[in-house]
Structure formats: structure tokens, C-alpha cells
């Protein structure tokens, strides 16, 4: 289903400037007052002013804006691509691309919107398609700039109509040996596909999955961070304009051609790999069903993850701890994998990790998520978890981080699974004071009310609704 057309009202730069001029000429406002009145009036009317250069007349002009200056000069250089253009021109082009990328990446500046409003996306797409072989430096800069311009639905839509997907995939295919071009090119794929279901489909039609597999096979010992990010984005349902995303089917395609296995190989390098976090996040996006989760385990994924979890605790690497626990939680959705994780000492290793990161609620809540999944509909695993110290973990964390809503909620979920089918666990946790912790979470956090009520009920308490 195609996204609905936007109903947001827009205005051209010329019309905006004319309104400011009318305020000055017809109403006698000074330049600053005229500008502010135009902004307030249009905002109240629901007009989208993103991409409009709002400068005080007389003090500065639209042509003085650094984005406009870069675009104007780039247009002249781009128009000569394909003809005789010297090294000095390419050097200037690189300088302009880098400057445009820099100003567009300034958070809150609105410069990316200004570039979009002034045909920046079309210009850079065209330049990318024309830059000749042997000018890799210029191409890398152009691709990085393009990624910085793709910041919203409007800019990615222009990228789509400018034949952007085909241009970028063509560049990646033609430069599969060049790591710098691959990094910048997949950066464009990730930026373009973020929040845009149509562009995800466009890249899949162009067989981006097969290209990714080819490149991962070609560069087995090289980390291409943006490639991992592209996988994650392509497999994330993040476009709220469509009712049903196709990313589940895309993930199955990725797994079928061997991308899951290739990502598992990235995990085996452990903490020595700078791409471990990105690879783990990408692999989680691929692991969408029981079959894929089991296949990942069969390729040594669980063993590699548990080693990474151990190592993250030893080295105090909270980023690795979080993402590895998150991925392990996903893999534990398979009943066969649950048993394997527990048999490999998973419960004890998770509790040991919690002791290493006892002061970090962001890690603790991920650990609890894994134990919650491992204990779901499994009395034996729930018993093992309590024996390992999961009950104490929940109580201590809830007492220490009473203001951390998500941790409180995850604690309630875990407690419920620990006691739902294990009467003996109820007695242990109640004797240790878990009821008070749950009731406090229920009282203090609206997001915890349902989870806390369910936990109190499964603890066997009659007044669980109070």
C-alpha cells in the first residue's frame, strides 16, 4: 500500500520573502518585527516552514546562506561532469560536498531541510551518477553528503523520484572492492530506508540482500559498519504511514541466502571486533521466526553470545552487554534454544553479569528480559533462575532503581514468569519482600500497573487489584 499524500501546507522561499516585504512596506514594520510576524502568522495557519531561510531583510540575504552558496557552486561543477573537468575542480567539489555535509549535520540547524527545499537531493543524486571512475574521493564525499540530506519523508521521497536507489546500488555493485565507497554507499541505503517502506521495497527489488551477502563474503575480515546498519533499517517496520510492513518477508530472504550465518561469524570474533555491537543488532533484526533462531544457534550463535556476555562483564563493556542480552532474548524465543541456553549455564552467567553491572539499570533490564523469556511456560527454568539468584536480582534492582520505569516493569514481568507455575518460588520471593516492591512500582508508575497487577495475582495474593 502506498503512503497517503501529505496534507501539510508549504510555502516557497519567494512567497515567504514577499510576505516579509509586505509587512515592511504596507504595515510599516521594522525588518525584525516583519520577519517575526510572518513566521508567527504562517505557523498559526499550519504552514510548514522547514527549509525556509528566515533571515532579517537588510542584515542578510538568502544567497548568503552557506547551504545555498554550496549548492550554487556545486550546480556549476555538476553541470560540467561528463565533459572536461580537471583535478582542481574535483578537489573543489570534494570541499563543497564536505562543507555541505558538515552544515547539514548540525543538529537543530534546519540546514538539511533548506538543502532539500533547494533541490539539493536531486543535485547530489545527479552528481553521484556522473562522477567518473578514478574519482573515488569525490564519490565518497558525494555519498556521505547524500546520506546527510536524507532526513525525513520529503527528502527520501525526492531521492526515490530522482532514481536514487538504482544509482546507489549501481555504485555499490561497481565498487564492491572499495571499502570507503561501500561504507558511504550503505550509509545512504540506511538513511534513505529509515521510515520509508517504499524505499525498503525499492532496494529489495534491486536485490540489495544479494549484494550485501556478496560483499560480506568478499570482505570476511573487514568491518563495514554502515552495512550492518543498512540491514537493521531494511528489516525494521518503522513507517507509520503503512498498515502492514513487508520486513518480515525481507528478513526471511536475508536468512535464506546466508546473511544470518555471516553475521554469526562476526560474533565469533568477540570483543576484539569493532563491529560486534552493530552485527548483534543486525542479527536480531534477521531473527524473526523460530526456524531462523534455531539456525543461528546451530551455527554457534548461542555459544558466541554467551562468550561475549562473559567477556563484556570482565571488561565492563555495557554496550556489548546490552545488545548481546537483547539478541539472546530474541533467540530464547525458540523452546529448543531456551534449553540450550540453560544447559550452557546461561542463568548463572546472566546473574554473574548482573553483579558486574549492578549500578547500571539499562543492562539489568536487558538481563531480566532474557530470564523472563527463558522462564516462560518452563517451571524447570524458573526454578533454575531462582536458584541462580533471579529473585534477589529483581528485589534489589526494584529497591535501588525505584524511579526507573522500564526496569520496574521488566522486573514485574520476570517475577510473574518465575512464580506462575512454581508455587515454591512464590513462597521464596514473598518471604524476601517482593510484594512491597511490586506494590510500590504499581503506585508510582502508570506503565507498571498491569504488569504489577499480574505479578501480584500470580504470586497468589487475593488483593492483587488494590
CA end-to-end span of the chain? 46
Q: Return the residue matching grid coordinates 549455564.
A: 345
CA-wise closest residue to 124 among 95, 152, 147, 154: 147
Q: In the prediction, which pLDDT does 3 show?
A: 43
Q: In the prediction, which pLDDT does 436 show?
A: 97
The residues of the chain scoring below 50 in pLDDT are 1-6
Beta-ladder partners of 47: 9
Separation CA 268–CA 303 (nearest Å): 9
Instruction: Give the SS3 label for residue 47.
Output: strand
Question: In this structure, what C-alpha cell is assigned to residue 259?
Answer: 546473511
Q: In the prediction, which pLDDT does 314 show?
A: 96
Instruction: Give the SS3 label for residue 288.
Output: coil
Burial class for 411, CB neighbours closer than 10 Å (0-12, 13-18, 19+): buried
Contact present, 121 and 155 (Cβ < 8 Å): yes
Separation CA 343–CA 327 (nearest Å): 18
Q: In the prediction, which pLDDT does 33 show?
A: 79
DSSP code at position 10: E
Across the chain, how many H-helices and E-strands are there?
Answer: 28, 2
269: Cα within 13 Å, side-chain hemisphere = 16
The number of residues making up the chain comes to 466
Q: In the prediction, which pLDDT does 218 show?
A: 96
228-244 tens-digit pLDDT: 999 999 999 999 999 99
Contact present, 275 and 266 (Cβ < 8 Å): yes
Q: In the prediction, which pLDDT does 31 show?
A: 72
Q: In the prediction, which pLDDT does 57 show?
A: 66
Contact present, 381 and 342 (Cβ < 8 Å): yes
Amino acid at each position: 500500500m502506498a503512503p497517503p499524500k501529505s496534507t501539510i501546507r508549504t510555502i516557497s522561499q519567494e512567497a515567504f520573502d514577499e510576505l516579509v516585504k509586505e509587512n515592511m512596506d504596507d504595515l510599516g514594520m521594522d525588518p525584525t518585527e516583519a520577519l517575526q510576524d510572518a513566521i508567527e502568522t504562517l505557523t498559526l495557519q499550519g504552514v510548514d516552514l522547514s527549509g525556509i531561510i528566515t533571515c532579517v531583510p537588510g542584515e542578510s540575504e538568502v544567497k548568503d546562506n552557506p547551504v545555498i552558496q554550496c549548492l550554487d557552486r556545486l550546480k556549476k561543477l555538476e553541470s560540467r561532469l561528463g565533459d572536461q573537468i580537471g583535478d582542481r575542480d574535483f578537489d573543489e567539489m570534494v570541499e563543497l560536498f564536505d562543507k555541505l555535509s558538515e552544515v547539514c549535520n548540525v543538529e537543530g540547524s534546519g540546514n538539511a531541510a533548506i538543502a532539500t527545499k533547494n533541490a539539493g537531493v536531486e543535485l547530489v543524486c545527479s552528481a553521484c551518477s556522473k562522477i567518473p571512475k578514478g574519482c573515488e574521493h569525490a564519490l565518497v564525499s558525494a555519498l556521505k553528503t547524500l546520506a546527510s540530506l536524507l532526513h525525513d519523508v520529503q527528502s527520501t521521497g525526492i531521492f526515490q523520484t530522482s532514481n536514487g536507489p538504482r544509482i546507489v546500488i549501481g555504485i555499490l555493485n561497481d565498487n564492491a572492492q572499495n571499502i570507503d565507497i561501500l561504507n558511504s554507499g550503505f550509509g545512504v541505503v540506511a538513511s534513505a530506508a529509515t521510515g520509508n517502506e517504499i524505499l525498503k521495497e525499492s532496494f529489495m527489488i534491486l536485490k540489495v540482500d544479494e549484494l550485501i551477502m556478496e560483499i560480506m563474503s568478499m570482505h570476511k575480515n573487514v568491518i563495514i559498519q554502515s552495512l550492518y546498519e543498512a540491514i537493521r533499517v531494511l528489516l525494521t517496520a518503522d513507517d507509520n504511514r503503512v498498515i502492514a510492513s513487508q520486513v518480515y518477508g525481507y528478513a526471511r530472504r536475508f536468512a535464506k541466502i546466508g546473511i544470518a550465518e555471516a553475521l554469526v561469524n562476526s560474533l565469533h570474533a568477540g570483543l576484539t571486533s569493532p563491529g560486534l555491537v552493530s552485527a548483534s543488532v543486525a542479527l536480531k533484526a534477521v531473527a524473526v521466526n523460530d526456524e531462523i533462531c534455531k539456525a543461528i544457534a546451530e551455527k554457534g550463535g548461542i555459544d558466541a553470545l554467551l562468550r561475549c556476555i562473559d567477556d563484556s562483564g570482565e571488561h565492563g563493556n555495557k554496550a556489548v552487554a546490552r545488545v548481546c542480552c537483547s539478541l539472546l532474548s530474541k533467540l530464547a524465543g525458540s523452546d529448543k534454544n531456551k534449553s540450550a541456553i540453560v544447559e550452557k549455564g546461561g542463568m548463572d552467567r546472566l546473574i554473574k553479569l548482573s553483579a558486574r553491572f549492578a549500578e547500571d539499570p539499562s543492562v539489568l533490564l536487558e538481563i531480566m528480559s532474557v530470564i523472563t523469556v527463558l522462564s516462560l511456560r518452563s517451571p524447570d527454568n524458573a526454578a533454575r533462575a531462582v536458584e541462580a539468584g533471579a529473585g534477589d536480582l529483581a528485589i534489589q534492582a526494584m529497591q535501588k532503581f525505584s524511579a526507573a520505569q522500564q526496569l520496574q516493569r521488566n522486573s514485574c514481568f520476570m517475577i510473574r514468569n518465575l512464580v506462575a507455575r512454581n508455587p515454591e518460588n512464590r513462597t521464596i520471593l514473598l518471604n524476601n519482600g517482593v510484594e512491597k516492591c511490586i506494590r510500590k512500582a504499581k503506585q508510582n508508575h502508570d506503565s507498571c500497573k498491569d504488569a504489577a497487577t499480574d505479578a501480584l495475582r500470580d504470586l497468589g495474593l487475593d488483593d492483587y487489584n488494590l
